[in-house]
A = this chain, B = another copy of it.
Amino acid sequence: MSRMKKIIECVPNFSEGCNPENIEKIVEPFRGKKGVKLLDYQTDEDHNRMVVTVVGEPDALKATVIEAVGCAIDVIDMRSHQGQHPRMGATDVVPFIPIKNVSMEEAIEFSKEVAKEVAQKYSLPIFLYETSASRPARQNLAHIRKGQFEAMAEKIKQPQWKPDFGPQKIHLSAGVTAMGARMPLVAYNVNLDSTRIEIADEIARKVRHISGGLRYCKGIGIELKDRGLVQVSMNMTDYTRTALYRAFELIKVEARRYGVNVIGSEIVGLVPMAAMMDTAAYYLGLEDFSMEQVLEARIWE
């Protein structure tokens, strides 16, 4: 992909995680398309859900996502769907993430274009969420999805839950869908040399945004019983503003109060190169470092 090509990542969640034939039908549109690259798809039978990770140029990505939503409508009937993960539609949620040569404003605009076309093509109600949300109450997916598929037929009739695109009634078999732009999420966990979950919980409360911590950090305490330790498990929701190292160093500061040591950390899944470069540059006190200096970035661009 050449230097100035725009690249957007999309991580659609579909309400099918069991039937291999249906899974394949939904994934099929993402394969072998020019300008689109399927990076991963993970299914979970207990959740009865699939998470697809795909990147692409805007136009190609848009056509592909629209096609896949159609396939999900064809093979999923929410009226008989069961699974542990909260869900409200056959295509449950479709986040768009600006990766390269794309501003957040462009990603928002893109998410609205896709939402509009999907709503028209399939008579599917769409709620814009996250950074694309049309009002603050719709930024949080959990708030939109509250009550899940079973409650949506009634919920959508309320004026404050009129969808952003599509009819003000659910799609009988496919429910409703949330779409929107967001920054890349980095799943980042810090391990503590302690078995006391209350310490991990306390520290999580101190570093996460909602209870007074870092602006773009969500966090909870988690017990890793097999390893005999506890963990502050975080979602970093904008690594460009709340750097990974800041959360790491702050957890070290807070852990001191309990006489507990930080023994390491882990990144789960994918991480943008810039998040790691930023961390290296911080600790080395690098002056004037640019991503253009990374050999692979120069080769691949």
Task: List residues of A whose CB falls within 8 A of some B CB.
Answer: 1, 7, 9, 37, 39, 55, 99-100, 184, 191, 244-245, 248, 262-267, 269-273, 276-277, 279-281, 283-289, 293-300
Interface CB pairs A-B, < 8 A, 17? A1-B299, A1-B300, A7-B299, A9-B295, A37-B299, A55-B299, A191-B287, A264-B284, A264-B286, A266-B287, A267-B286, A267-B289, A270-B298, A271-B293, A271-B295, A273-B296, A277-B280
CA distance A219 to B179 in the complex (A): 54
Q: 9 tightest A-B contacts by CB? A: A300-B300, A264-B285, A279-B280, A283-B283, A280-B280, A276-B280, A273-B296, A270-B295, A266-B287
User: Cβ of A284 and Cβ of B295 under 8 Å apart?
Assistant: no
| A290 to B, closest residue via Cβ | B267
User: Cβ of B265 and Cβ of A285 under 8 Å apart?
Assistant: yes
- A287: which B residues are within 8 A, CB to CB? 191, 264-266
* Known interface pairs A1-B300, A276-B277, A300-B300; A248-B295 also in contact (CB < 8 Å): no
CA distance A9 to B55 in the complex (A): 28
Contact of A265 among B272, B286, B298, B299 (CB under 8 A): B286
User: Cβ of A245 and Cβ of B298 under 8 Å apart?
Assistant: no
User: Cβ of B273 and Cβ of A286 under 8 Å apart?
Assistant: no
CA distance A295 to B281 in the complex (A): 19
- A286: which B residues are within 8 A, CB to CB? 264-267
User: Cβ of A294 and Cβ of B276 under 8 Å apart?
Assistant: yes
CA distance A7 to B294 in the complex (A): 15
CA distance A9 to B295 in the complex (A): 10
- Residue among A39, A262, A265 with the most chain B CB within 10 A? A265
CA distance A1 to B273 in the complex (A): 18
CA distance A279 to B276 in the complex (A): 9
CA distance A118 to B298 in the complex (A): 28
CA distance A37 to B184 in the complex (A): 30
CA distance A295 to B262 in the complex (A): 27
User: Cβ of A279 and Cβ of B270 under 8 Å apart?
Assistant: no
- A276: which B residues are within 8 A, CB to CB? 276-277, 280-281, 294
7 new A-B contacts at CB < 8 Å, known A266-B287, A273-B294: A1-B299, A262-B285, A263-B285, A269-B293, A271-B293, A272-B294, A273-B273
- A1: which B residues are within 8 A, CB to CB? 299-300
- A285: which B residues are within 8 A, CB to CB? 262-265
CA distance A37 to B297 in the complex (A): 13
- A99: which B residues are within 8 A, CB to CB? 295, 299
| A275 to B, closest residue via Cβ | B280
Closest approach, in angstroms, between the C-beta of A74 and any C-beta of chain B? 29
User: Cβ of A244 and Cβ of B284 under 8 Å apart?
Assistant: yes
User: Cβ of B300 and Cβ of A272 under 8 Å apart?
Assistant: no
CA distance A164 to B134 in the complex (A): 71
User: Cβ of B265 and Cβ of A284 under 8 Å apart?
Assistant: yes
User: Cβ of B288 and Cβ of A266 under 8 Å apart?
Assistant: yes
